[in-house]
Structure 1
Amino acid sequence: MIKQGEHTDLENASLISVDCSNQDLAAVNWKRVNAVDCQFRSSDLSGSVFTHCKMTNTGFEAAEGCDVKFDLCNLANSNWRGASLSGSSFTECKLTGANFSEARLLGASFQHCILREVFLRNASFRKQTLEGLDFEGADLDGADFRNAIFDDCSLRSASLRLAKFSGADLRGCDLGQIQLSDAGILKGAIVSKSQATDLLGGLGISVL
């Protein structure tokens, strides 16, 4: 069991359906921990490092997670509602279906992650270089991508109402079947010739 105030590193542990809410777990190194269906509500995870952990269906609501590192973790269907994740990083993580509603993400970063069907409304990616991010089917309404650079990313079937793309370089992004009638959200963005051709094709115009 994890006891409040103990900062012991955890490795090869199993914490299935354990309630770790309201605990001081700052600066703990988690390695190959199986924490499926656990709860970390309002716990302090600041400065912790999670590597090769499986934490699917786990709740991090209102957790203090500043400067936390998640590397090679499966965090599918995790709930981060109201969590503070400033300065935290997610690298090569699976976050399918994760909920970041009302989470504070100032300075947080995602690299080479699966973010399918994730809830990231109003998140700011402004001026970031986004590498290997799969946002297919994600809810990105109101997200700020201004001056961001997309490299090997996908926005296929993502919800992008009121998202901002001015100055964004989308040439390295799969935009899917965006119709020209919806292309206004891309105002000010940089797209490739092939992407522009696809957009015009949605209006029945052929580019020869």
Structure 2
Amino acid sequence: MDYIDEEVFENQDFSTADLPKAEYDNCRFVNCRFANSDLSKVIFLECAFDSCDLSNANVNHTAFRDVQFKSCKMLGVAFQDCNKLLLSFAFSNCMLNLSSFYQLKLKSIRFTNCQLNEVDFTEADLTQAVFTNCDLAGAVFEYTNLEKADLSSASNYSIHPESNKIKKAKFSRQDLAGLLQQYDIVIK
């Protein structure tokens, strides 16, 4: 496998010709298109993606190790298919609607100003995760570990306390309805 170090890729379209299979270390991808592309078995180490479109990209066995995503469109990405060894990434100003983090261990993951509509967090370990100003409308939390997670500025979530671990998680008073929705009660 090729090794590519400290390169910057700008305005490239990898949706028609896939990114070459390689190990990318400390690389930046700026305004690149990866929509529907095959990123399987590619290794990203300490890379940054800025203003990229990775919607429906195949990330089967893809390694994301200390990777930053900023202002990226990432609709329908099946992150649960990634290489789980040392998996670590952070998202800011990203649109991740319809993506899946099913059963992933993502302790201390950070989502900042992200749209996470209908994202699947079923059985994920989100211990100490931070969701700053995130829209979680329709996001699925089932048997999810949210212990010590910070959702105090998140909105539109619906989390069932009986089927999720929420010990010491932080929520805002105005969005507590997202924890009580399943009880069909009226909150004034």
* TM exceeding 0.5: yes
Give 5+ residue unaligned stretches, structure 1.
1-21
Counterpart AA for 1:142 = E
**Which of the numbers 131, 134, 153 marks the counterpart of 1:153?**
134
The 1-side partners of 2:9 and 2:57 are apart by 17
Higher strand share: 2
TM-aligned CA deviation for residue 95 of structure 1? 0.6
1:74 aligns with 2:74: no
The 2-side partners of 1:40 and 1:59 are apart by 8
The 1-side partners of 2:181 and 2:54 are apart by 38
1:116 aligns with 2:94: no
CA 1:156–1:186: 2 relative to 1, 3 Å:
farther
DSSP 3-state at the match of 1:200: helix
TM-aligned CA deviation for residue 154 of structure 1? 2.1
Once the two structures are superposed, residues 166-207 of structure 1 have per-residue CA deviations (whole angstroms, 9 ceiling, x without a partner) of 11121211234x27xx33225322222222245435423234
1:98 aligns with 2:77: yes
The 2-side partners of 1:98 and 1:128 are apart by 17
TM-aligned CA deviation for residue 99 of structure 1? 2.3
The 2-side partners of 1:204 and 1:173 are apart by 21
Contact 1:147 1:168 in 2 (8 A): yes
1:190 aligns with 2:170: yes
Counterpart AA for 1:122 = Q
1:59 aligns with 2:38: yes
1:174 aligns with 2:155: yes
Contact 1:37 1:59 in 2 (8 A): no
DSSP 3-state at the match of 2:153: strand
1:126 aligns with 2:104: no
TM-aligned CA deviation for residue 156 of structure 1? 1.7
Q: Which moved more, 1:153-162 or 1:182-191?
A: 182-191
The 2-side partners of 1:108 and 1:199 are apart by 27
Q: Max radius of gyration: which structure?
A: 1
Aligned residue-pair number: 184
DSSP 3-state at the match of 1:87: strand
Contact 1:40 1:61 in 2 (8 A): no
Give 5+ residue unaligned stretches, structure 2.
none
Contact 1:38 1:59 in 2 (8 A): no
Contact 1:120 1:140 in 2 (8 A): yes
1:18 counterpart residue number: none
Contact 2:33 2:52 in 1 (8 A): yes
Contact 1:41 1:61 in 2 (8 A): no
DSSP 3-state at the match of 2:13: coil
